[in-house]
């Protein structure tokens, strides 16, 4: 029951992002932040780390990646981010990966990254001290709600109460249940 409540809350949260905004880009920025939050959950699923990558308020931190997967659909792109120690400052380079599997090979050390990036400018000199760390880069694009499916049931009701009517039945049902049809059986 709790998952249904969370799912409804995520749907309501998503729908509220585009409400009451003065400019459509304001809503898109909010959806982008939600996408980045999902990226952080995927990253935390791939690597166990004490680092928090989330850019959202506490209101969504109680939701698991499975909660988001049951509510939303999205496209994923994978890459890696490589940080190098340098004499001046860190230099961070990015590399796109064709799949999650390719990205995982870099993260697990099965595939190595360039020892150090090369620069074409002779006036620019940097001493690299070695590879600092390789992190996943995950992009969530085209975030959208999953199509909601309603359940339909066929129920047979038998009563000896001659005053029982369709309106009485509707009064017994929760507000989110609708009677689509009823056929009295005589006999």
pTM over 0.85: no
Q: Specify the pLDDT at position 166.
A: 74
* Strands 128-145 vs 91-97: parallel, antiparallel or unpaired: unpaired
In whole angstroms, what is the distance from residue 126 CA to residue 173 CA?
A: 73
Structure tokens that stand for 101 in this block: 């599997």
Per-residue model confidence (pLDDT) at position 155: 72
Which is nearest to 78 in space by CA: 91, 55, 54, 95?
95
Express each pLDDT in 86-140 by its tens digit. 666 556 778 899 999 999 999 998 998 877 666 555 555 666 666 677 888 899 9
Q: Where are the domains of the chain?
A: 2-145
Cα distance between residue 20 and residue 17, in whole Å: 8
Per-residue pLDDT, 76 = 94
Long-range contacts of 147-151 (CB under 8 A, 24+ apart): 148/11
State the average pLDDT over residues 157-163.
72
Write out pLDDT tens, residues 174-185.
766 777 767 777
* Closest by Cα among 86, 44, 84, 46 to 64: 44
Burial of 86 (0-12, 13-18, 19+ CB in 10 A): middle
In what order do the strands lie in the sheet containing 128-145? 91-97, 72-86, 128-145
Helix 24-46, helix 2-17: angle, nearest 10: 140
As beta bridge partners, residue 137 has: 79
Tokens found for residue 45:
């699923």
Instruction: For residue 1, name the pLDDT band (cuts at 50, 70, 90).
Output: very low
pLDDT of residue 134: 82
pLDDT, one tens digit per residue, over 10-64 is 888 888 877 766 776 777 777 888 888 888 888 888 886 545 555 555 667 778 8
């Amino acid at each position: 029951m709790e998952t249904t409540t969370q799912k409804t809350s995520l749907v309501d949260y998503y729908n509220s992002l585009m409400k009451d905004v003065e400019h459509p880009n304001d809503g898109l920025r909010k959806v982008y932040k939600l996408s980045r939050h999902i990226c952080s959950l995927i990253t935390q699923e791939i690597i166990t780390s004490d680092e928090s990558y989330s850019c959202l308020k506490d209101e969504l931190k109680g939701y698991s990646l499975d909660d988001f997967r049951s509510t939303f659909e999205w496209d994923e792109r994978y890459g890696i981010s490589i940080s190098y120690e340098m004499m001046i400052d860190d230099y961070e380079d990015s590399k796109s990966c064709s799949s999650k599997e390719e990205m995982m090979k870099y993260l697990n050390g099965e595939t190595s990254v360039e020892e150090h990036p090369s620069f074409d400018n002779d006036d620019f000199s940097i001493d690299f001290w070695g590879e600092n760390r390789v992190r996943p880069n995950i992009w969530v694009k085209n975030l959208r709600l999953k199509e909601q499916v309603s359940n339909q049931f066929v129920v047979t009701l038998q009563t000896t109460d001659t005053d029982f009517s369709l309106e009485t039945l509707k009064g017994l049902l929760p507000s989110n249940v609708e009677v689509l049809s009823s056929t009295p059986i005589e006999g």
